[in-house]
Amino acid sequence: MWCSRTALRRLVLQEAPLAGFQRDMSSLPRVYVTRQIPPRGLQILRESGQVQFELWDSDDPVPRQELLKKVRGCDGLLCVLTEKIDAELLDAAGPNLKVLSTMSVGFDHLSLEELKKSHHVILWLCIGSRGIRVGYTPEVLTDAVAELTVALLLATSRRLIEATHEAKTGGWGTWRTLWLCGHELADSTVGILGLGRIGVAIAERLKPFKVKKFIYTDVAPRPELAEMIQAEYVSMDELARRSDFLAACCALTPETQGICNKNLFSKMKSTSIFINTSRGGVVNQEDLYEALSTGQIAGAGLDVTVPEPLPTNHPLFTLKNCVILPHIASASYTTRNAMSALAANNLLAGLRGEPMPKELQL
């Protein structure tokens, strides 16, 4: 039986029910699931009758060496964003691997070039391309991420974490005229770095706060999306100079790596609030610390960092004007179940050789 147990974590081979007839489970495609994903996705895999799957039954990541061992000979892999899918893993999996499904909208943990390139392993004197199809989970988390971004923006700009701390620790004394004053959204300019579905959803939620103007920058103008929120396309420098609130919503790519750096922060207003719910790698954290600690900008709210988790002794944690969350933007029961269901359906469709609900075009 293709299953093993460890003293620390339980690995479970989930066998799909038989659809009215006895079927040899060993003939079904083999799938490895790298994490204890929300129940809807597991239910879909289990009830499909199309795969035999093994699960790393833990909330904690599967150890790398265990992962490399378990992917050998698999036809499909369902992973989350903590798993690095690179040449080492793909070579360990071997030529059987046909489908990779990630339960994430971001795919910076996937080596796309390696997924596209040919095998370097000679098998029966033939060299074939990997031919691995990739599914991901965009759109289903748009609302949850937009909601969290607005919540983080308000918590940062109105200094709610500071205020809660003062109330709990005896700092709440007599009423004072400027104590814990923050910055309002009304009559403000909100800048969006990377205008996609999430950026639009954030703007739609902020509009009722009487925001005066939405501006954005991207690799190129996106007129159809911009029209939805009456946003103006501007340069990166202008985005920095004009934004009272600047939200980073871009994907992490070689071009956006560290794009929010000293150059950006130095052009921002001293009253500006910076928010990042995209990927930690788009921010140079040393430059951000300098900007916050010197008053170059008023505050920052981060749901993502480098590394994750951010060490508790990191300098950013010493700042009152920096709110840091543990990467929870998509953390609603509805959204996480929808993500796991989409990841499972992508995997099954790929293994059947059918179009995936959401396939990443390599």
Reduced to 3 states (helix: H, G, I; strand: E, B; else coil), residue 148 is helix
Tell me which long-range contacts 350-353 makes (C-beta under 8 A, separation of at least 24): 350/76, 350/98, 350/99, 350/101, 350/133, 350/135, 351/29, 351/31, 351/50, 351/51, 351/75, 351/76, 351/98, 351/99, 352/50
CA dihedral 43, 44, 50, 52 (to 10 degrees): -40
> Of 109, 120, 165, 327, which one is the catalytic site residue?
327
Q: Answer positive or negative: Cα dihedral of 279, 186, 335, 331.
A: positive
Rounded to whole angstroms, how far apart are CA atoms 114 and 53?
A: 24
How many Cα atoms sit within 13 Å of 290 on the Cβ side? 12
Active site residue 327: yes
Dihedral class, residue 141 (left if φ above 0, else alpha if ψ from -120 to 50, else beta) = alpha
Q: Are strands 273-276 and 99-102 parallel, antiparallel or unpaired?
A: unpaired
Under 8 Å between Cβ of 213 and 232? yes
**Catalytic site positions:** 327
